[in-house]
């Protein structure tokens, strides 16, 4: 159905212009009943979209600034792969002080989602110590030496509690800041994992101790290499993961 699904949000709705930043989805500004909102069309399953929209509503109720799904006229939070959400104003973080502000909502996200179920079809980094596939990840497509390096990095996270992680908060395009708020947008990579993966921010703005920062940075680089394999970015991230030492 594509963008024709917009009609399910009422009669006074229209696309305005394409927005940049998304890779997996077609994202547009939308006018809905005279107000500016955002429409995102993708190929996620209904189960995946149900997980994401339930998460965003939960975080909004708990006081985090996130895009809030707007229901269709019959009350559904998505239709035919389309989600319509509130528009969030602001700009990206630019200074270390800005990034320190980002660390606060991330830690609150982690606190609010302990015990949350895993996103349908996804695996956490520590699940991949034994599993080989999960959503975008197929370790069988990577060179065996690269898989060994990634698993050695993730093994340092084994046994830690999990929660929902945003998945890509260090990308400035995924943050909208004003003088009074910090909003996290683009929740396409959110899933259940170890919170340290979210806290590898520019300039170590989350204030991690040296050892903890090393653990988190290595695990994060390994995750991004695996989830993006095998484009140039993934190859660069894998190069950041230390080789496995011989016994």
For residue 193, count CB atoms less than 10 angstroms from its CB and return exposed for 0-12, middle for 13-18, buried for 19 or more. buried
Percent of the chain predicted with pLDDT > 70: 98
Residues in CB range of 109: below 8 A, 6 or more apart: 59, 64, 163, 164, 165, 166, 184, 198
pLDDT at position 24: 72
Average pLDDT of the residues in 107-115: 97
- 126-168 pLDDT per residue, tens: 999 999 999 889 999 999 999 999 999 999 999 999 999 999 9
Domain that holds residue 77: 2-86
Q: What is the domain-level CATH number for residue 27?
A: 3.30.200.20
- Using pLDDT thresholds of 50, 70 and 90, give the confidence band for residue 247: low
Q: What is the domain-level CATH number for residue 108?
A: 3.90.1200.10
Q: Is residue 190 predicted with pLDDT exceeding 60? A: yes
Q: Is residue 225 predicted with pLDDT exceeding 90? A: yes
Number of domains in the chain: 2
Say if residue 167 is in the same domain as residue 100: yes
- 196-207 pLDDT per residue, tens: 999 999 999 999
The answer as to whether 244 is a domain residue is: no
Per DSSP, helices labelled H in the chain are 46-61, 96-112, 144-155, 210-228, 232-239
Identify the DSSP state of 5: G
Say if residue 196 is in the same domain as residue 132: yes
CA atoms within 13 A on the CB side of 237: 22
Residues in CB range of 113: below 8 A, 6 or more apart: 55, 58, 163, 164, 192
Q: Given 61, 86, 111, which residue is the final one in a domain?
A: 86
Say if residue 46 is in the same domain as residue 140: no
The answer as to whether 225 is a domain residue is: yes
């Amino acid at each position: 159905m594509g963008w024709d699904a917009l009609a399910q949000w009422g009669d006074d709705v229209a696309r305005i212009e394409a927005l940049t930043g998304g890779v997996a989805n077609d994202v547009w500004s939308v006018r809905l009943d005279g107000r500016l909102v955002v429409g995102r069309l993708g190929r996620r399953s209904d189960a995946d979209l149900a997980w994401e929209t339930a998460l965003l509503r939960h975080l909004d109720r708990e006081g985090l600034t996130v895009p809030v799904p707007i229901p269709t006229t019959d009350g559904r939070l998505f239709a035919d792969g389309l989600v319509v959400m509130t528009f969030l104003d602001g700009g990206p973080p630019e200074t270390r002080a800005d990034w320190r502000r980002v660390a606060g909502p991330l830690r609150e996200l982690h606190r609010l989602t302990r015990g949350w179920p895993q996103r349908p079809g996804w695996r956490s980094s520590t699940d991949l110590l034994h599993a080989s596939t999960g959503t975008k990840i197929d370790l069988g497509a990577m060179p065996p030496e690269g898989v060994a390096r990634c698993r050695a990095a993730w093994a340092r996270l084994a046994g830690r509690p999990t929660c929902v992680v945003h998945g890509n908060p260090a990308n400035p395009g995924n943050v909208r800041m004003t003088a009074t708020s910090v909003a996290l947008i683009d929740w396409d990579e959110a899933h259940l994992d170890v919170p340290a993966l979210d806290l590898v921010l520019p300039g170590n703005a989350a204030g991690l101790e040296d050892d903890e920062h090393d653990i988190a940075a290595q695990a994060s680089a390994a995750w991004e290499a695996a989830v993006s394999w095998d484009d140039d970015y993934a190859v660069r991230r894998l190069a950041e993961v230390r080789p496995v030492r011989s016994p």
